[in-house]
Chains A and B, each alone.
Chain A
């Protein structure tokens, strides 16, 4: 492999993932401080900065949650440094309290908040459109469309932020952040010096907050100039039909028009708030039909149509507000062709149907310690006669425990919601409550809820599944990781709250874990199990090839009781004509299935090589 492409010289073209382009943009912009809490589809930016921050001269940190991350970045900016904080869309909800105050304080060094939204919910609980949150918080909103623009707009966003003294929100989506394309690298800006001076607008007491309102308006007014418009917006094509678009949605329009063999004038907006309204209105006045095509909600459409209403400008308007354009799920060429064909009045052929074949649902990896924990949990509850447990769960790989055969998942809203909801269930329900949370999620938002549960005397069993990494986003460190970090010990945290019923288990040891779990289920007040075993993928990364072992089933010993596939269900098992087998290429060699609690007939054994 060659030298790291992200450190390459100006003018070089590299095949970059959108998020890699963001990291390069951060480097080019002369950013001094960058922070995040990992979340898909923004995680790769953190992976890169974690690896390259020293060489890029950036102080980078994985924070315990997005709010902390945002506050660290805000201070860097107020001290004159360029600072960058990034997260997935729902992460901005966590940071929202301080995000709302950013506009009041403004920015000294350029400050950019980056949100990677996830339309169609490829790996999220909703598809919220964070442009609305930017406008709500009175923060400038910028929307790139491609990896190249991600990099370029990051740099321009920092310049803009400094020129007007105000923070900027960049909104990306999965289909920009997770696209790869050639990206031409640019030159490096110089870094700023730390120069912190006290300012009343950083202390948002009512008196100061009152004054800040005027400065927010003044700063946003400065953005309304054509100078900024030309940096971010483009228009082309001649037609009496005008398409106003932005972000990922833009990428599908040219091809859709080509397929339909029709024309339109395209206005692609990169600076979405505050809008260059005069420029937009001029375009609308020249058109007779206007179509709004956006990824997410009617963000541009609402802003523009209110102005049109005020100025009595009437055209044939089509978009999400009149139902011509769908409001849910991500766009693609097929969808754009679908609704544009109706607007243009063109018949289209229907496409080949997708054949009806078995689904392949997401599964826990072979060797995953969560599977062992869930297996023990279901077994312990069965043995204790708990037939209808209530099992709040949380955000992480282990949310997959919701699926059969474990079926453990009654509630999952957001990071940490397993613990808060457990209090809600405990307050009202007579059923046993057993809830599940991962280590990283526990640190992120579980602790305040657990304090609440202890303080208010709620009775439930919380299982903290500690695999020592933030696994679902690719294995980032957690507060437990050490060195060079100081290690925070989960058990000490739980004990520090005052909780007495604390149990630890190694889920790979099914027999002892089962006893521990049953003991924990017998306690009559708040109890915590810490189920500790490192993520199987992390272990694989460290394991030398020579240490690979795998397991197979001795067909002579197998009694075809099917306990292994029905109740344990490792993803490496398969069935051929009634015979259970283990796919040697999938088996991780964890050995858990060979324990008598999974295979009572000792039919599963290590393959001797």
Chain B
């Protein structure tokens, strides 16, 4: 049984990442629930997708019980910490998307506030964007993230299932680069940190 919050901003592909993991669980015959919440904005609004694998009926994760937050944006990582259980981890792909109301007031991104909050938790940076750039294909950053989440062992899913799920979720012409991205993502986190979870 595992509960994970995927958080980010509309347009970042958060839902696709959650979908791949959900599909992989279905391939293994497991029960999995996923709920997505986005308001009325098509792009640029906050998004959180909750995924629970196991014998659950509620797709919404109760407060303080999520095993992990997988975030694609810094502010959105912090926005969801109330869901995290004690000892839960945050995987963060560092990206700052400035809320328009702050920009209008000529305010900087709230780096300090975010760092103070994140310091209270076990946090791991995932250099997903950088790896994707190295692979020459910016858009595979999300698949790098899937690899990183897999490497924590939290999902309790087999690698083959994730690979099949990636193929089922994406068009054939981008399979190769995405599988490579997954492979790199797997090796991103410090091994000790990953295996101790």
Contacts and interface: CB of A to CB of B under 8 A. Distances in A.
Given A2-B168, A180-B22, A360-B46, A577 B108 contact: yes
B116 to A, nearest CB: 9
A537 to B, nearest CB: 6
A332 B41 contact: no
Interface in B4-39: 9, 11, 19, 22-23, 26, 29, 31-37, 39
Contacts of A48: none
A39 to B, nearest CB: 12
A355 interface: yes
Interface in B76-113: 76, 78-79, 81-82, 84, 96-104, 106-110, 113
Given A357-B110, A366-B43, A586-B44, A15 B58 contact: no
A204 to B, nearest CB: 38
Given A15-B22, A365-B44, A575-B106, A360 B76 contact: yes
Contacts of B156: none
Nearest to B59: A179
A575 B109 CA distance: 8
Given A354-B79, A400-B40, A573-B103, 6 more contacts: A179-B59, A181-B32, A357-B79, A358-B75, A562-B106, A583-B97
Interface stretch (A232-240, A251-259, A595-603): A251-259
B36 A178 contact: yes
14 contacts: A14-B26, A15-B34, A352-B64, A355-B78, A362-B40, A363-B43, A363-B100, A365-B11, A397-B42, A400-B40, A474-B42, A573-B98, A573-B103, A575-B103
Given A181-B59, A252-B58, A352-B82, A359 B99 contact: yes
B23 A15 contact: yes
A571 interface: yes
Given A361-B99, A397-B42, A574-B109, A566 B59 contact: no
A40 B36 CA distance: 13
A404 B19 CA distance: 35
Question: What 6 A-B pairs have minimum CB-CB distances, sorted nearest first?
Answer: A362-B41, A574-B98, A351-B63, A180-B34, A365-B43, A333-B62
A557 to B, nearest CB: 19
B8 to A, nearest CB: 11
Nearest to B33: A181
Interface string A556-577: 0000001001100101011111
Contact of A352 (B29, B42, B81): B81
Contact of B170 (A1, A180, A332, A569): A1
Interface in A324-360: 332-334, 337, 351-355, 357-360
A471 interface: yes
B45 interface: yes
Interface string A394-405: 000101100011
B160 interface: no
A354 B82 contact: yes
A123 interface: yes
Contact of A251 (B37, B58, B64, B96): B58
A12 to B, nearest CB: 11
A223 B145 CA distance: 52
Contact of B26 (A13, A354, A363): A13
Interface residues of B, number: 59
Interface string B43-54: 111100000000
Interface of A: 1-2, 13-15, 40, 122-123, 146, 175, 178-182, 250-252, 254-255, 259, 332-334, 337, 351-355, 357-366, 397, 399-400, 404-405, 471-472, 474, 537, 562, 565-566, 569, 571, 573-578, 583, 586
B55 to A, nearest CB: 10
B57 interface: yes
Contacts of A404: 101, 104
A363 B98 CA distance: 12
A117 B32 CA distance: 23
Contacts of B42: 365, 397, 471-472, 474, 537
Contacts of A360: 9, 45-46, 75-76, 79, 99
B92 to A, nearest CB: 15
Interface string B131-151: 000000000000000000000
A340 to B, nearest CB: 13
Contacts of B31: 181-182
A86 to B, nearest CB: 20
Interface in B145-187: 168-172
A209 to B, nearest CB: 40
B99 to A, nearest CB: 4
B103 A358 contact: no
B106 A179 contact: no
B62 A259 contact: yes
Contacts of B34: 15, 179-181
A1 B164 CA distance: 10
A601 B14 CA distance: 38
Nearest to B86: A352
A575 B99 CA distance: 10
A180 B33 CA distance: 6
Given A15-B23, A181-B31, A405 B104 contact: yes
Nearest to B35: A179
Nearest to B49: A180
A583 B44 CA distance: 12
B194 interface: no
Contacts of B79: 354-355, 357, 360
A15 B34 CA distance: 10
Given A123-B40, A583-B97, A15 B32 contact: yes
B39 A122 contact: yes
Contacts of A146: 57
Given A181-B59, A182-B26, A400 B41 contact: yes
A363 B62 contact: no
Contacts of A573: 98, 100, 103
A360 B99 CA distance: 5
A149 B56 CA distance: 15
A362 B35 contact: no
B149 to A, nearest CB: 17
